[in-house]
Structures are given as structure tokens and as C-alpha cells.
Chain A
Amino acid sequence: MTMNSQSNRALYIVPDEPESTTQEAQERKLSYPLLRVMDLNVSIQGKKILHNINLQIPEKSITCIIGPSGCGKTTLLRSLNRLHDDQADIKISGSVMVDNEDIYGKNVEVTHIRKKMGLLAQRPTVLPMSIFDNVAYGPRIHGLRGRRKLYRIVRTQLMAVGLWEEVKDRLRSPAIRLSIGQQQRLCLARGLAVSPEIILGDEATSALDPIATTKIEELFLSLKQDYSIVLVTHTLRQAKRIADYVAFMYLGELIEFGTAQELFNNPQHPLTKDYIAGSFS
């Protein structure tokens, strides 16, 4: 149902809207998706969590997945980098294409898939090692050696997340000593250090205070120049602030997908309308 409504979308755009140029650019991006989810079904312990999800995520932009709790947002996000693999009693069918490669394909190496996607969890999960080693961890496990090379990566990534100035004098101290907002930025830097194409965020700001949240959001906005970002969020306001594209899910189904502009200003499905209006959450 989603894809059908998409083709009609152009009709609803008012031509003299000031954002129309970016709007058009966004529409264009939709035709060259980086990540394609096709007929994805996930059931856990016999209970169906995701029903026939079809979704195309455009590159170099922020896509927010919204919806009430328990609608399958997180399950969908985790399916994108196969984090469900180790769970017992789980059944997954359908495919997820990244760079025209099905990540659920037979000969796909899972570490290779995950390297392409950085994951930012709800709470920061710093590794039990120093700040430096946290960022250097990814490159190291992928075989990079040499202090100078590692140092360069660490510095670049810490600068990218705006943490360098705060920690440059204590790179050797345990990462756990940072504040929680700093830890989350460190986790982001750690994810960026393996040069992923996609950043996945699972309510990545829900444990943070407003100032730290703003910092992370600003980071996402600047990172979308180079990365494709998929965020699960349950704060509608956050989606409004930063999303280029929005997917609305309800009870395991993808109800509507479109540019943020369309979805927030002109939702097609009554459920989307109700959710955005705040009738349920």
C-alpha cells in the first residue's frame, strides 16, 4: 500500500512552497535507494513481529522510523544488520538489499554486513578500555595495525563527533569516566571508525539530557553529507527536527513512508494522521 501511494505523491506537492527544491531533490533520491527491504517478515517465538515490510531507504539522508511502542521499529532496525542472528526461536523471511547484495543471502559473511553499518544503541555502550582503544577497536579487529595510522583515525573520528577538544589530553583514561552524552558521541565515533555506509540509531538520544540530545542531533545533520542514517525514534518532535524521510509503523506493518514534508504535512493514511495529531502514542 505504501508504494502505491508513493507514485501519487507528486500530486500533493504545492509548487510554490519554499522547500520545493529540496523536496524535489528528496523525491529524486527515492528512486536510487541504498537499502531496500523486501517482503521482510520476522516472527519471534511464533509471534509475528513484522508483516511484509517493503521499504527503500535513500542514501545520504536521515530516515526516521516512527510509531507507537511495540510496533516493531526496533526489530526492523535490528534486522537491517542481522543482530537477530543469535536469537533463538526467530524466523526471518524476505530480503534486505544493501548495495544490491542481499544481507540474508546464503554466502554472505555477517561481519562484513555489520561493518557497513554503525549501530548506536539506546544507552551508550563504551567498551571496557580507554577512550583511544574504544575508537581504535573497530579498525583493529579489521586488521589495521600501526600506532600512527590508528592515531590518525581516532583523531579524525573524535573531531567528527566534536569530542576531540574535550578528551585529547586523556585519550588513555577509561572511557567509562566520560559523561553519558560524551559516551554516546564516543560510541558514534567508534562506529564511524570502521567507515560504514549506514548509521543505525535505536532511540539513540533517549537516555540523554536535552543538551546532549541537541548535540547528537546536530551531528546527525552534519553526518548525512557522507552517511545514510536510519533512526528509530519515539519522539515525534525529534523526527520533525531532523528527518528527511519518515516511515510510520503500526502493529508490525509499515503504514506509510515518504519525505518528512509530505508525511507530516499531508499524511495519507488515517492512522498516520491520528498518530501525528497525537491521538495515540
Chain B
Amino acid sequence: MRKLEEKIMKVLMLLSSAIILFVLGFILWKIVQMGLPSLNWDMVSKTPAGGFYLGKEGGILNAILGSLMLIGCSVFISIFLSLPVALYINFILQRKSRASGIIRFAFDVMFGIPSIVYGAFGFMVMMYLGMQASLLGGIIAVSLLIIPIMVRSIDEVAAQVPKDLLEAPLSLGATRYEMVKIAARQISPGITTAILLAIGRGIGDAATVMLTAGFTDGIPTSLMQPVATLPLAIFFQLSSPMEEVQQRAYSAALILTLLILILSFSTRYFSRKFSKTRI
């Protein structure tokens, strides 16, 4: 009887893994199949020329660079805001104290807010400040979107740091700040994961940037100019009635996927190379 139970569970686990892998494989295959034919050097090296959205010359360099600029700045800002929060609620406050519970709850709520709401909120703030859709607006909205993701995922690993490890520097006469530095070092692989999650979420989100970052055919030269992003480039091209343009949407999707893959592999590679916590 127990043998049978074990077998059933095993089959179930295998089945769910297979379903997920199949879906992933199918998506990747579909993107490659649809996107590869129209993927060429022009796509990644040129900005859209006049009539690009009607199937004429040009590429989506504006969106590629735009997305990278936007996510780069947002991740940079977010890490400086979320790392201290996660360290504070784990290592300065008592882990299970009321205050850290409230902070965690707040970030859980923020985590659950749909990205379009962040977009709308950002838009409202921009209206109030008299700003136009711009790179800066996009950075603020995307940062709002990814900060809760970062805080919660760093928090998860920070909670695993054994108490003994925190007491080790303290018993050598370290200050609280020096202790927190050790803790941050210990969880550095977790911080990398948090950054990757944030990049993945932020770079692919269309709703936040639609209202805040705008769209443009050029590459912005200041924070106040609008910026194009890959998700919106996909969205606009896919909604075109022309098949040629629709195909380009798939190659834009392919580029976006490759970009995320490259970013996550290289981040993992470098963090492993410099990590002292892994074997």
C-alpha cells in the first residue's frame, strides 16, 4: 500500500515537472520559430526608420537600449533601497518582532499590487509634478514594482542566517554594523537571485512603462526624454495588421528572452566566481 502511494506521488511529481517543461519548451520554440526568420543584424543595430511599423527599414535598437537603461537604473536604485530594509528587519530588529512583521506585511501588500496600478500611480505623480512620460518616470515606476520583490526575496534568505553566525563577529568585539556586513556577505548569493528576479520581472513588464516611460523611435539622451522598451515594442508591432510587422514582434520577443538569459547567466557566473560562501 505504501509502495503504491510512493509510486503515485512519484508519477504526479514527474507529470507536473513535465507539464511545466513542456510549456516552457513550447513558448521558446514558438518564439524562435516565429521570430528567427525576421531576426537580422538590422533589427538589433538600427533604430526604426520612417515607416518601420509599416514593414519598412529599421530595427529596435531604441527599445533594446531603452529597456536596458530603464532596468539598469531601476535595479541600481532598488538595491540601495531594499537591501537596507531586508537587513534591518532581520538583523537590527528582532526577526519576529511586531515592527518587522508590519514591514513584511507592507511589502507583501506592495508585492501583490498589479503593475498597471504602479504605472497609473506613477502617471498620476508625474501629472502632479508636471512631468511628461520620460525615462525618469519609467525608472521610478519600475523601481516601485521591483522593490517589494527584492525585499521579500532577500528577506527569505536573510531569515536563514543562523544566529550563531551573527554572534561570531559580535563576540570578537564587532559593532552591529560590522555584524550586518558579515550577514550581507553570507547572503550574497541570495542577493544575486533577488536582483535576477527583479530584472526578469522589471524588464518584461509592459503595464508600468506604458504610461510612465512613453515610447519613442530615438534613443533618449536625458532622463526627461521618453524611452522605448521591448515589451511595448512587442505590443505595438503585434497589434499591427501587417504580417511582416507581427513577425518582427516575435523577433523582438526572442531578443528580450535572450537578453534575460544572458543577464542571468552572466550574473550567476560572476557571483559564483567571487563568492566565498559556496563550496
Contacts and interface: CB of A to CB of B under 8 A. Distances in A.
Interface of A: 81, 83, 86-88, 111-112, 114-115, 117-119, 121-123, 125, 127-130, 137-138, 141-142, 174-177, 187, 190-191, 194, 200
Contacts of B174: 111, 141
Interface stretch (B103-111, B178-186, B228-236, B249-257): B178-186
B17 interface: no
Interface in B195-252: none
Contacts of B162: 123, 125
18 contacts: A83-B171, A86-B94, A112-B173, A117-B171, A118-B171, A118-B172, A119-B168, A121-B167, A127-B168, A127-B182, A128-B188, A128-B277, A141-B169, A141-B172, A174-B277, A175-B276, A176-B278, A190-B172
B172 A177 contact: no
B168 A121 contact: yes
A241 to B, nearest CB: 25
Given A128-B277, A174-B276, A187 B168 contact: yes
Interface size class of B (residues with CB under 8 A): 20 to 34
A194 B172 CA distance: 7
B173 A114 contact: yes
A123 B172 CA distance: 16
A123 B182 contact: no
Contact of A115 (B167, B172, B182, B276): B172
A119 B163 CA distance: 14
B168 A111 contact: no
B164 A141 contact: no
Contact of B171 (A142, A176, A177, A191): A191
B117 interface: no
B238 to A, nearest CB: 46
B175 interface: yes
A121 to B, nearest CB: 5
Interface string B72-104: 000000000000000000000010010000000
A125 B188 CA distance: 17
B165 interface: yes
B168 A125 contact: yes
Contacts, number: 79
Nearest to A121: B164
A194 B173 CA distance: 9
Contacts of A88: 94, 97
In order of increasing CB-CB distance, the 6 nearest A-B pairs are A115-B173, A119-B171, A138-B172, A128-B277, A125-B168, A111-B173
B276 A130 contact: yes
Contacts of B12: none
Contacts of B185: 127-129
Contacts of B175: 111, 141
B164 A122 contact: yes
A57 B258 CA distance: 66
Interface in B128-177: 162, 164-165, 167-175
Q: Which among A121, A122, A128, A190 has the highest number of chain B CB atoms within 10 Å?
A: A128
A174 B164 contact: no
Nearest to A117: B171
Contact of A125 (B167, B276, B277): B167
A113 B46 CA distance: 65
B268 to A, nearest CB: 18
A9 B86 CA distance: 56
Contacts of B188: 128
A81 B173 CA distance: 10
B14 interface: no
A141 B279 contact: no
B277 A176 contact: yes
A187 B171 CA distance: 11
A105 B164 CA distance: 25
Contacts of B170: 83, 114
B164 A125 contact: yes
A128 B276 contact: yes
A142 B167 contact: no
A122 B167 CA distance: 12
A142 B173 contact: yes
Contacts of B277: 128, 174, 176
- Which of A111, A117, A118 gathers the greatest number of chain B CB atoms within 10 Å? A111
A163 B69 CA distance: 50
Contacts of B168: 119, 121, 125, 127, 187, 190
Nearest to B176: A86
Nearest to B161: A128
A58 to B, nearest CB: 22
